[in-house]
Amino acid sequence: MNSKIPFVLTALCASVGMAQAQSVEVFGVLDVAYLSTSATGSVKATSVSTDSNTSSRLGFRGNEDLGGGMRASFWLEAAHSPDNGTGSGTNVNNQSSGQASSPAGTQGLTFGRRSTVSVSSNSWGEIRLGRDYVPSFNNLTVAMHPFGTNGVGSAGSLFYPVPANGTTARTGVRTSNSVGYFLPSNLVGGLSGHFMYALGENASDLYNANDGKHTGLRLAYRNGPLSMAIASGTTKYTTTAKVANDYVQTNFGINYQMGAAKFMFLTNENKIGATKTKTDMVGTQYNLKSGQVRFAFTTLKATGVANDANQWALGYVHDLSKRTALFINYSEVSNQGVGKRFTVGGGNDITTAGGSSTGFELGLRHSF
């Protein structure tokens, strides 16, 4: 739930001719939890953490009626950590933060979650510019995964790319400098779509001139209780040896609502050069009178990088109101063979081959 904030600046509006049809919202989420993680060969760690059920954020968004069925909109959204009061950085050109030409934003309140301006119409769709989610990320959210990308049950643990051959992909979630096009939301047949093109903004005479350039596409279909979507995105990267080492993410998700239960399946493949991780998940969200039970089981198969792994997660969200909820989650990741790459929430390092990692969290979420 979002609270509309009336901006009663009559004198200023009159002086600049602000349209009467313009509306602005301030919105946000505060998510704080007690977190306990353990891993084979490491000591147990406890902390007060954030983003366990939903990502904490502070944002401003608005739109203006341009007439003729057209609207202009903006969206500014910043990440923050209510457990310690800090903000979060961003990445200016979709490349590794270690490169001198692509520094990540310094610690502070930046609008790194989303920063866009757009024009839209019910007849032809929306054109959106700025920093935004890549199309393939939308299949990793709670729309297709019981836990989305938050907390110990997160899709991020096994679904995000593993750095390989000198490439650390920075576009698994968002990209800067993008131009996006969305199909109209009222298409007949339940179809929707999102296309994106983004620039890395490097000098044209560099060996890695195309680094950070991203193209992505997502097509979705919804009809009653059935929802499905397929998406893919490619980001250009070149190693210092001038070898192409592009990052390609492709995924497909489907869910079906049957009474109180939503059954979900999600498959995702990340490729960096010749390396690959393929992840499959089956899960459910089961609605109760005052909450929701969540369960997910995930398997990962790795080629040329990291190792195979499995994860299971169980959680419950208890709604105190439309804006406030308590939640509790537990998850375990098991590395296969002699692997020790994957942990719950990226926490404690596993020091024993074939080791496992567990995580427990209990928290409170409030939105406004």
Q: Express each pLDDT in 272-323 by its tens digit.
A: 999 999 999 999 999 999 999 999 999 999 999 999 999 999 999 999 999 9
* Res. 1 pLDDT band, cuts 50 70 90: very low
Q: Are 275 and 301 in contact (CB under 8 A)?
A: no
Q: What letter represents residue 345's amino acid?
A: G
pTM of model > 0.85: yes
- Is the pLDDT at 328 greater than 80, yes or no? yes
Is pLDDT at 95 greater than 60 in this prediction? yes
The confidence score (pLDDT) of residue 22 equals 87
Q: What is the pLDDT of residue 18?
A: 47
In this predicted model, what pLDDT tens digit does every residue of 34-63 receive, in sequence order? 999 999 999 899 999 999 999 999 999 999
Instruction: Report the run of H or E that residue 183 belongs to, with start and end.
Output: none
The residue range of the domain holding 168 is: 3-367
* Cα 94 to chain centroid, rounded: 15
**Percentage of residues of the chain with pLDDT beyond 70:** 91
6 class by beta-carbon count within 10 Å (0-12 exposed, 13-18 middle, 19+ buried): exposed
The mean predicted confidence, pLDDT, of the chain is 91
Instruction: Indicate the number of domains in the chain.
Output: 1
305-316 in b/e burial notation, b at 16+ Cβ within 10 A?
bbbbbbbebbbb
Instruction: Determine how many CB atoms are found less than 10 A away from the CB of residue 83.
Output: 18
Residue 264 has pLDDT above 70, yes or no: yes
Give the Cα separation of 149 and 293 in Å (integer). 16
Q: Locate 354 and state its tokens.
A: 């074939």
When pLDDT is cut at 50, 70 and 90, the band that residue 98 belongs to is: very low
pLDDT, residue 241, reads: 84
* DSSP class of 137: G
Task: Tell me the average pLDDT across 345-354.
Answer: 83
- Whether the pLDDT of residue 28 is over 90: the answer is yes
The distance of Cα 148 from the centroid of its chain, to the nearest Å, equals: 8
CB-side exposure of 245: number of CA atoms within 13 Å? 19
pLDDT at 19 over 50: no
221 has pLDDT over 70: yes
Q: Which pLDDT value is given to residue 213?
A: 97
Residue 89's pLDDT is 85
**Cβ partners under 8 Å of residue 270, min gap 6:** 159, 160, 161, 162, 169, 172, 247, 248, 249, 276, 277
CATH of the domain at 34: 2.40.160.10
Which stretches of 52-177 are DSSP H helices?
Answer: 156-159
**Under 8 Å CB-to-CB from 213, ≥6 apart: which residues?**
94, 198, 199, 200, 235, 236
